[in-house]
Structure 1
Amino acid sequence: MLSYLMRRIAYALPIALAVSLVCFLLVHLAPGDPVNAIVSPDAPPEMVQQVREQYGLDRPLPVQFGVWLSHVLRGDFGRSLASGKPVLQEIGPALANTFRLSLVASAIGFAAGCLLGTAAARFRDRWPDKLVIAVSAGGVSVPHYWLGMLLVVVFSVTLNLLPAMGAGSGSQAWAWDWDHLQYLLLPALTLSIIPMGIIARTVRGVVIDIVQQEFVTTLRAKGLARRRVALHVLKNAAPAVLSIMGLQLGYLMGGSILVETVFSWPGTGYLLNGAIFQRDIPLLQGTILLLALIFVALNLVVDLLQALLDPRIQRA
């Protein structure tokens, strides 16, 4: 297991380096001048040039990348051009909010997806199976922002049951009491729809494939109880389903920008949206890099969990 862990870490390091390079290039190649986030458009050219030299924006891109990467490796992501605060100080609260939102959304999506997928496999080619397939297809196809606005209209405007925007007020804005949790329900439900559809279809396909294998027929022929047979099926389905869950959790962490914008949820997506319009390059780079590294780390954790569930993977 230790050798497998070292191999996976060795694979992850060049991926992380490539991610940092792509992140740097995408931000810098986007149109717009980041100096506009600091000085006014009618500022004299001397002031613009001074600011450009102060932030190292006058250097060639390879030099800027080397300087930025060396600072990142020391834990220094720079300072936001708009607020002047350290980037990590800006990202910390937003990342905590996004993690909380993703955790609730993944719990809803994964639980519902596993139940629907198992039910569809149990009643294969019957009406419950067709209903689950239709619901899964609809969940994957529905745009996040449209569903979010629809939920706001129904639960906030029409029924007046849940707040439409924000994350609560006060120093306990990350608390799990109802006063703050009610702000989380609509965006979490919106984010959970796509993972639910993907997990449901994956679980259905994997369970149907495993049930048709010879070892399941042998277990049934030996008179093993249906519950015990189901446990063996679920154990063999776990590695494949776990892989999809890990990818979806990473997607929820990094792909919630539209949902957070619709609900004004103060997470990394909302932070990125503001940084894009302000052309705040250090904040953009730091946020995107952290989200990408979290995604790489999640894949590493999923690989290790798969190896624990199925030791054959360690020999691959």
Structure 2
Amino acid sequence: MLFHILKRFFYAIPIALGVTLLSFMLVYLAPGDPLNAVAPADAPMEVIQALKSAYGLDRPVPVQYGLWLARALHGDLGTSIATGRAVAGEVIKAVGNTLLLAGAAGLAGVLLGCMLGALAGYRHGGWVDRFATLLSVVGVSVPHYWLGLVLTIVFSTWLAWLPAMGAGPGGSSDWAWDIAHLRHLVLPALTLSVIPMGIVTRTVRALVADMLQQEFVVSLRARGLGGRRIFRHVAKNVAPTVLAVAGLQIGYLMGGSILVETVFAWPGTGFLLNTAIFQRDIPLLQGTILVLCMFFVALNLIVDILQPLLDPRMGRN
């Protein structure tokens, strides 16, 4: 078990280094000059050179990467070109809001997907199976930004039940655990939950239906075990795969919420990433992408460590 954890940890190190390189280089492939956010098009050459020197853009790209990586390892992600504020502070605040949104959406999607998938697997071929399959197909097919607009029109405009923008009253970006703020969370979380719900439903349905046909389940039934005890055995064998799928889906929610956060003006990393792209704010773009990618790597590492706890056979590989 310990060897498995150490092996997974060392596997994650080169992946993390590759992520830092891609995070740094991808933004340089985009067209445009990042200094346009702070300097007018007719700015004197002396001003342009001074800005490039201040932001380290006058050095060779490998040197820029080395200095950026060294600062990032110490928690310094640079300074936003557009706002002049520390990137780390803006990203940390946005990450907290996105974690809240992704956690709520992921929890709702995974729980509903597991329930629907298990029912469909046990009622394979019946109307429950067809209904769950239909929901899963709709969940993975409908564009979530379109669904967000539809939910906003229905529940915010027509019915006036739920607010449509911001993380709090008045479009506030500060979160508090009260009813007023929770009402702002409902629509974006519901919109984001449909994709993991559909994927988890299909996964659990296929696994449960296949597991119920296995010889050990037939033997358990022949020995007279009740439905609850058989379900425990089935759930124990299905859990590692479901955990891996759920972990990936939550990671995707962290990085794939840009359109939903833009639709609902939710002050998370997706909204921040969208702002950085349009403002061509390279430090903010690099910092946001790096944090999102590192979260994804860390989440995969945690899933790899937890899987052998559910199925000890996996720790022997």
Output the TM-score relative to the length of structure 2: 0.97
State which drifts further: 262-271 or 84-93: 84-93
SS of the counterpart of 2:165? coil
Q: Amino acid of the residue matched to residue 173 of structure 1? A: D
> Following the alignment from structure 1 to structure 2, what is the Cα–Cα distance between the partners of residues 286 and 65?
13
Runs of 5+ unmatched residues, structure 2: none
Instruction: Quote the residue 1:149 is aligned against.
Output: 149
State which drifts further: 285-294 or 168-177: 168-177
State which drifts further: 206-215 or 165-174: 165-174
Instruction: Quote the residue 1:24 is aligned against.
Output: 24
> Following the alignment from structure 1 to structure 2, what is the Cα–Cα distance between the partners of residues 280 and 228?
56
Q: Amino acid of the residue matched to residue 44 of structure 1? A: P
Q: Amino acid of the residue matched to residue 21 of structure 1? A: L
Instruction: Quote the residue 1:160 is aligned against.
Output: 160
Correspondence 1:102-251 to 2 at 5 A: 102-169=102-169, 173-251=174-252
SS of the counterpart of 1:129? helix
Q: Amino acid of the residue matched to residue 220 of structure 2? A: L
Q: Give CA deviations for 1:18-58 in whole Å, capped at 9, x if unaligned.
A: 01111111111111101111212221122112111221112
- The answer (yes or no) to whether the contact 1:261–1:273 under 8 Å persists in 2 is yes
Q: Amino acid of the residue matched to residue 228 of structure 2? A: R
Q: Give CA deviations for 1:104-163 in whole Å, capped at 9, x if unaligned.
A: 101110111011101111111111111111110111000011000000000000000001
- The answer (yes or no) to whether the contact 1:173–1:180 under 8 Å persists in 2 is no
Taking only the aligned residue pairs, the percentage that are identical comes to: 59
Deviating above 2 A after TM superposition, structure 1's stretches of 4 or more consecutive aligned residues are 169-173
> Following the alignment from structure 2 to structure 1, what is the Cα–Cα distance between the partners of residues 185 and 201?
23
State which drifts further: 173-182 or 15-24: 173-182
SS of the counterpart of 2:224? coil
Q: Amino acid of the residue matched to residue 271 of structure 2? A: Y
> Following the alignment from structure 1 to structure 2, what is the Cα–Cα distance between the partners of residues 177 and 76?
33
SS of the counterpart of 1:266? coil
Superposition deviation, residue 61 in structure 1: 1.4
- The answer (yes or no) to whether the contact 1:113–1:195 under 8 Å persists in 2 is yes
Q: Amino acid of the residue matched to residue 89 of structure 2? A: Q
> Following the alignment from structure 1 to structure 2, what is the Cα–Cα distance between the partners of residues 13 and 169?
42
Q: Amino acid of the residue matched to residue 114 of structure 2? A: C
> Following the alignment from structure 1 to structure 2, what is the Cα–Cα distance between the partners of residues 172 and 55?
28
Q: Amino acid of the residue matched to residue 236 of structure 2? A: K
Q: Amino acid of the residue matched to residue 246 of structure 1? A: G
Superposition deviation, residue 172 in structure 1: 9.2
> Following the alignment from structure 2 to structure 1, what is the Cα–Cα distance between the partners of residues 174 and 35?
33
Output the TM-score relative to the length of structure 1: 0.98
Instruction: Quote the residue 1:34 is aligned against.
Output: 34
Q: Give CA deviations for 1:175-227 in whole Å, capped at 9, x if unaligned.
A: 12111110000000000000000000000011111111111111111111111
SS of the counterpart of 1:67? helix
Instruction: Quote the residue 2:72 is aligned against.
Output: 72
Runs of 5+ unmatched residues, structure 1: none
Q: Amino acid of the residue matched to residue 188 of structure 1? A: A
Instruction: Quote the residue 1:277 is aligned against.
Output: 278
Instruction: Quote the residue 1:309 is aligned against.
Output: 310
SS of the counterpart of 1:175? coil
Give the root-mean-square deviation of aligned CA atoms.
1.2
Instruction: Quote the residue 2:47 is aligned against.
Output: 47
Superposition deviation, residue 173 in structure 1: 3.1
> Following the alignment from structure 2 to structure 1, what is the Cα–Cα distance between the partners of residues 193 and 249?
10
> Following the alignment from structure 1 to structure 2, what is the Cα–Cα distance between the partners of residues 253 and 275?
17
SS of the counterpart of 2:78? coil
Change over 3 Å in CA distance of 1:172–1:252 after alignment to 2: closer
Number of positions where the alignment pairs a residue of Structure 1 with one of Structure 2? 316
Superposition deviation, residue 169 in structure 1: 4.3
Q: Amino acid of the residue matched to residue 164 of structure 1? A: A
